[in-house]
């Protein structure tokens, strides 16, 4: 168990860094006018999928089931025998890694098959052509915009304005029409801000509960949340701009919604003292991570090909492999991490 100083110190630092993801929107804004934007977003989405699925399978689920050891503790499960100075890896790690390997192999098989046959590209253009004159590419990759399309009237946007014209035209001519609620914010913007605040609170709660178990568990969950927040926060930022908000106001609102993660963090510290409650929180977190990564994001990653399918394929796989690799490094070397 970490000390109070470690708990609040490392936990607050982790959430602070994650909250700063809200600023990534303005940092990546110049990329919106370049073709590299799509490759960056797909790499981040792949990174998010690998990190979340890896954290759920390699850290959260084993901890909930009581088969995850810390500092060489014996939990009545078998270890591979190593000499002193060698890395000790639990048997469950190889099985969970094999599970991830099967998922990745199937993804790879479908992706390569689509590259050879061109099926995914045909499906992509057939199913999304009607959106090309309405929603910029960046928004079509964002789940929030996809889920709100059916509830909000889309303005006709038949000019040649697109990512190549930059985000300035999106701000001056908003294409997501919605009635104003308060302070010049549209219904869509309000929904995104409130939804983001609740989402960030839940992230903070999961991080807080993880840190009460150990600093290493908190670190792994924080990395998974961080990787997930990069594309998520940037997508929210783009949608907010598209509703007509100024850059500064969109950035400020996005940042304020991220501050609820601190409330969730400190609530997680209190609830995490109860082992039963902490395990339930971690179980729910693992379920959310698996659903979001494998059900929401993986199909999007698999079907999107872009103008250069081979380059996009490489970016997707780099992101996936790096995400899982981060979680594997923590799982293997966590007993040697010193804080």
pLDDT tens, 15-63? 999 888 767 666 666 666 566 778 888 888 898 899 889 989 988 898 8
Confidence label for 136 from pLDDT (cuts 50, 70 and 90): very low
Residue numbers of the domain that contains 142: 4-27+38-66+89-152+184-336
Q: What is the number of residues in the chain?
A: 339
Which residue is listed with tokens 């799982």? 331
Judge whether 170 lies within some domain: no
Contact 245, 185 (CB under 8 A): yes
Burial (CB count <10 Å: 0-12, 13-18, 19+), residue 138: buried
* pLDDT for position 21: 73
Q: What is the mean pLDDT of residues 181-206?
A: 81
Distance CA 111, CA 305 (A): 10
Give the per-residue pLDDT at 92.
87
Integer angstrom CA distances of residue 235 from 44, 231, 257: 12, 6, 14
How much is the pLDDT for 246? 81
- Confirm if 24 and 207 have CB atoms less than 8 A apart: no
pLDDT of residue 2: 79
> Does 9 fall in a domain?
yes
Residues 6 or more apart whose CB falls under 8 angstroms from that of 194 comprise 257
pLDDT at residue 31 in the model: 61
pLDDT at site 176: 43
Residue 190: the pLDDT is 84
pLDDT at 147: 41
pLDDT at residue 174 above 80?
no
Indicate whether 284 belongs to any domain.
yes
**Is 80 exceeded by the pLDDT of residue 336?**
no
End-to-end CA distance of the chain: 12
Whole-number percent of the chain with pLDDT over 70: 68
Q: Tokens at residue 261, please?
A: 């993660």
What letter does residue 153 receive in the DSSP assignment? P
Q: Is residue 58 part of a domain?
A: yes
Element (H, E) at 180: strand 180-182
CB 258 within 8 A of CB 196: yes
Residue 107 in domain: yes
- Cα 316 to Cα 40: distance, rounded to the nearest angstrom: 9
Per-residue pLDDT at 313 exceeds 90: yes
Mean pLDDT of the chain: 74
Q: Give the separation between CA 179 and CA 220, rounded to whole angstroms.
A: 41
- The answer to whether residue 56 is domain-embedded is yes
**pTM for this predicted structure:** 0.68
pLDDT over threshold 50, residue 210: yes
137 part of a folded domain: yes
pLDDT band at 305 (very low <50, low <70, confident <90, very high): confident
Query: In which band, very low, low, confident or very high, does the pLDDT at 167 lie, cut at 50, 70 and 90?
Result: very low
Compute the average pLDDT of residues 115-139: 48
Judge whether 169 lies within some domain: no
Is 221:288 a contact under the CB 8 Å cutoff? Answer: no
Number of domains into which the chain is organized: 1
């Amino acid at each position: 168990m970490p000390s109070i100083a470690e708990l609040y110190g490392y936990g607050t630092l982790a959430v602070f860094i994650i909250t700063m993801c809200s600023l990534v929107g303005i940092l990546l804004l110049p990329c919106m006018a370049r073709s590299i934007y799509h490759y960056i977003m797909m790499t981040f989405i792949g990174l998010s999928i690998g990190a979340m699925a890896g954290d759920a399978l390699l850290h959260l689920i084993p901890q909930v089931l009581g088969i995850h050891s810390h500092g060489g503790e014996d939990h009545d499960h078998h270890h591979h025998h190593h000499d002193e100075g060698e890395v000790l890896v639990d048997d469950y790690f190889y099985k969970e890694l094999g599970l991830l390997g099967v998922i990745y192999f199937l993804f790879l098989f479908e992706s390569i098959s689509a590259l050879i046959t061109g099926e995914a590209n045909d499906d992509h253009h057939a199913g999304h052509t009607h959106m090309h004159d309405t929603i910029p590419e960046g928004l079509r990759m964002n789940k929030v915009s996809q889920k709100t399309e059916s509830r909000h009237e889309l303005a006709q946007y038949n000019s040649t304005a697109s990512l190549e014209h930059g985000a300035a035209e999106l701000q001056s001519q908003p294409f997501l029409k919605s009635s104003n609620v308060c302070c010049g914010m549209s219904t869509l913007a309000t929904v995104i801000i409130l939804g983001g605040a609740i989402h960030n609170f839940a992230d903070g709660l999961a991080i807080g509960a993880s840190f009460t178990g150990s600093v290493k568990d908190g670190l792994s969950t924080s990395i998974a949340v961080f990787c997930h927040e990069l594309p998520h926060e940037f997508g929210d930022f783009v949608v907010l701009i598209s509703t007509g908000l100024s850059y500064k106001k969109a950035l400020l609102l996005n940042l304020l919604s991220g501050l609820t993660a601190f409330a969730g963090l400190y609530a997680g510290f209190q609830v995490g003292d109860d082992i039963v409650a902490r395990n339930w929180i971690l179980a729910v977190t693992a379920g959310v991570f698996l659903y979001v990564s494998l059900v929401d994001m993986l199909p999007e990653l698999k079907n999107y090909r872009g103008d250069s399918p081979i380059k996009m394929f490489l970016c997707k796989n780099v992101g996936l492999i790096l995400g899982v690799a981060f979680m594997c490094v923590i799982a293997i070397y966590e007993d040697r991490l010193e804080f």
